[in-house]
Structure 1
Amino acid sequence: MIRVLLADDDEMVRAGVRAILATDPAIEVVAEAGDGREAVELTLAHRPDVALLDIRMPRLDGLAAGAEIIRAAPSVAVAILTTFGEDAYLARALDDGARGFLLKSGNPRELIAGVHAIAGGGAYLAPKMAARVIDRLRSTGLDRAASARARVRALTARERDVLALVGEGLSNSQIATRLGLTEGTVKGHVSAILTRLDLANRVQAAILAHEAGLTRG
């Protein structure tokens, strides 16, 4: 049985979504919330498999509520209930860890299929939204790449070489061998890179190297 929490401040919408989900005997709505704060509280109390959250809710919007749920109850899969045209919010929801985007006014079969996919550990995007979301994410990715390239210009040529190899997953010893440097020198370069680019660790450095196009992968 897939246990679902349903959160929307519009009672008519909740009734409609609940009626659709009730047509599938494998899905049970275990709790309903009328605002985002209540959605978080009920999720923590009931621990459903899936939390379906409207974007626009009082006290706490669906995106903020979803982020709280993901942090506090990572076993609960969060899906955003949306209307066509609200996809401007979806990149943020993706970054926060949401697993699905379901249309309130879409095909009922798609809503049920989405709940099953998300509960099973997958992801689901309402087909009508797919092209627009992909375009938005592609644009966001291009912006991130441009920003990353601008950041690494602050590095010396040797530091960029080191950052590229960090991005490829090499250790300091391996980087030293590849570049003909001592391991201590590489360690100094890595420390300088993290400080100059305000990065917390090598993982963030590796991600930046990929976004800036420094790696071969």
Structure 2
Amino acid sequence: MTALRVLIADDNPVVRAGLSSLLATTEDLVVVAEARDGHEALHLTRLHRPDVILLDVRMPGVDGISALPHLVCLAPVLMLTYSQEAEVVREALLLGAGGYLVHGEFTPDDLLRAVRDTRAGRAHFTPTAATAVLTELRSSSQQQRSVGQSTERVHNSVAFGLSSREVEIMDLIASGMNNQQIAGACFISEKTVKNHINRIFAKLRSTSRSEAIARWLGTARPGVTGHG
């Protein structure tokens, strides 16, 4: 079996020595070069053509994040760092990192397995990095839902011809508020609320709150919503 060639990029000589010693304990991995910053990592990667790059984030001169988009064009990169901020994890992954390990959260065997898997295209994350990824996915999903709801709301207001005040009141109706509560929320009289509701019902071609809500939220039966 041909050993996987590994390049270590970290400004801390103690960390580099420790990683080199660990990788030397197995016959299928060999350290071909060590770099002190992103610039040197790029130079040595072009020179030695490693199969996997272990890359720190914070280094003097050219840091890991700055070097990452150039390095991933040459070899798979596994982030190996003390940096655990969610935005750093996110940026590293968007720039092409094949995994993200935070020091202190993995065993020697975890690291050896991660190096091999990175070469094979299988991602590895330690708990902090995995949590950051999960948080980002949830945040993106919530944003997409929010955008979708906002888009649907704007579409409905245009489709039914509601004014901005009528949109506000229709949203409050859909939230379950009665006329008195709507009047208090909008700082208007109940009589004014009733007048708005009469106009809203006419525009939505509805005769009841439940029917208006169904049309407003797009849940009415096909063929009976909108203006025909």
Q: TM-score, normalised by structure 2?
A: 0.59
Q: Name which of structure 1's ranges 132-141 and 86-95 shifts more when overlaid on structure 2.
A: 132-141
AA at the equivalent of 1:15:
A
- Distance, in Å, in 2 between the alignment partners of 1:48 and 1:149 is 48
Structure 2 CA distance, aligned partners of 1:77 and 1:66?
10
Give the drift of 1:61: 1.1
> 1:58 offset after TM fit, Å?
1.1
Aligned position for 1:198: none
Tell me if the contact between 1:110 and 1:126 (Cα under 8 Å) persists in the aligned partners: no
1:16-67 C-alpha deviation (Å, 9 max, x unpaired): 1111111111000100000111011111111111011000011111111111
Structure 2: distance between partners of 1:20 and 1:68: 27
Match of 1:56 in 2: 58
What amino acid does structure 2 have at the position aligned with 1:95? L
Q: Secondary structure at the match of 2:121?
A: coil
Normalised to the residue count of structure 1, the TM-score between the two structures is 0.62
Match of 2:79 in 1: 80
Which amino acid in 2 is paired with 1:58?
Answer: P
Which residue of the partner structure matches residue 130 of structure 1? Answer: 130
Flag the structure with larger Rg.
2
Q: Within 5 A, what are the aligned runs for 1:63-142?
A: 63-71=65-73, 73=74, 76-83=75-82, 85-105=84-104, 106-127=106-127, 129-142=129-142
- Highest relative contact order (Cα 8 Å, sep 6+), 1 or 2? 1
Question: 1:84 touches 1:129 (CA, 8 Å); kept in 2?
Answer: no
Contact 2:76–2:118, Cα closer than 8 Å, also in 1: yes
Query: 1:28 and 1:133 mapped to 2: Cα distance?
Result: 30
Aligned to 1:191: none
Q: Which runs of 5+ in 1 are unaligned?
A: 158-217
